[in-house]
């Protein structure tokens, strides 16, 4: 007989959105099952479902489970301001999402995929896909934002090694807004290396 993992019994660990729907009590003043009443006041079902979608959005999918962020006061006592994650394998509680993902990969060895899993919502009837392949890769975060902030980088000129007599750091050239051509396409700015300043004795 297979022994149940200790972490899988926690309310913040679910296999599907349907399982989370079952954890929503029926009534007019419904609390969030993952937050204390000081953090989220009991309210109507549609507001609780919308709030639970934010828990799903910050969850982590791993090995067929979704670990949702939990704000309950779980032993040992945790900070009431910040949430935490419960490991579905060993039951360990970790405060940061990246630390939780690293724990899953390093401690339990098998992970998910590098690409995020489509985020289910309480309106979907989907289950979490099993992520048992790709040993050593980080598990797929359920709700990593699809819009990522990208930083434009421009090529820099190789200035070579700094002269031995110069101990002051070279200043980077000041860049203004990117120039555009007549067609509206960005033009790469010219970059000139800063002149080294001689050391005075």
pTM, two decimal places: 0.54
Q: What is the pLDDT of residues 152-195, one digit of tens each?
A: 444 444 455 554 544 444 554 454 555 555 555 444 444 444 55
- Mean pLDDT confidence for 129-148: 37
Q: For residue 34, is pLDDT > 60? A: yes
Q: Is 29 exposed, middle or buried (0-12, 13-18, 19+ CB in 10 A)?
A: exposed
Q: Give yes or no for a contact between 86 and 33, defined as CB atoms under 8 angstroms apart.
A: no
């Amino acid at each position: 007989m297979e022994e149940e993992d200790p972490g899988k019994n926690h309310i913040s660990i679910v296999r599907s959105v349907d399982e989370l729907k079952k954890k929503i009590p029926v009534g007019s003043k419904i609390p969030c099952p993952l937050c204390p009443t000081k953090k989220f006041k009991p309210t109507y079902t549609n507001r609780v479902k919308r709030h639970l979608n934010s828990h799903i959005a910050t969850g982590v999918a791993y090995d067929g489970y979704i670990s949702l962020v939990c704000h309950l006061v779980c032993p040992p006592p945790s900070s009431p301001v910040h949430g935490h994650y419960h490991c579905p394998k060993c039951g360990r509680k970790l405060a940061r999402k990246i630390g939780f993902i690293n724990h899953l990969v390093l401690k339990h060895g098998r992970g998910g995929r590098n690409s995020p899993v489509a985020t289910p919502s309480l309106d979907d009837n989907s289950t979490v896909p099993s992520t048992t392949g790709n040993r050593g890769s980080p598990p797929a975060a359920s709700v990593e934002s699809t819009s990522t902030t990208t930083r434009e980088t421009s090529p820099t000129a190789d200035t070579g090694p700094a002269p031995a007599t110069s101990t002051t750091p070279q200043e980077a050239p000041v860049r203004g807004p990117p120039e555009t051509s007549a067609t509206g396409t960005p033009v790469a700015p010219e970059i000139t290396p800063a002149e080294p300043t001689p050391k005075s004795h």
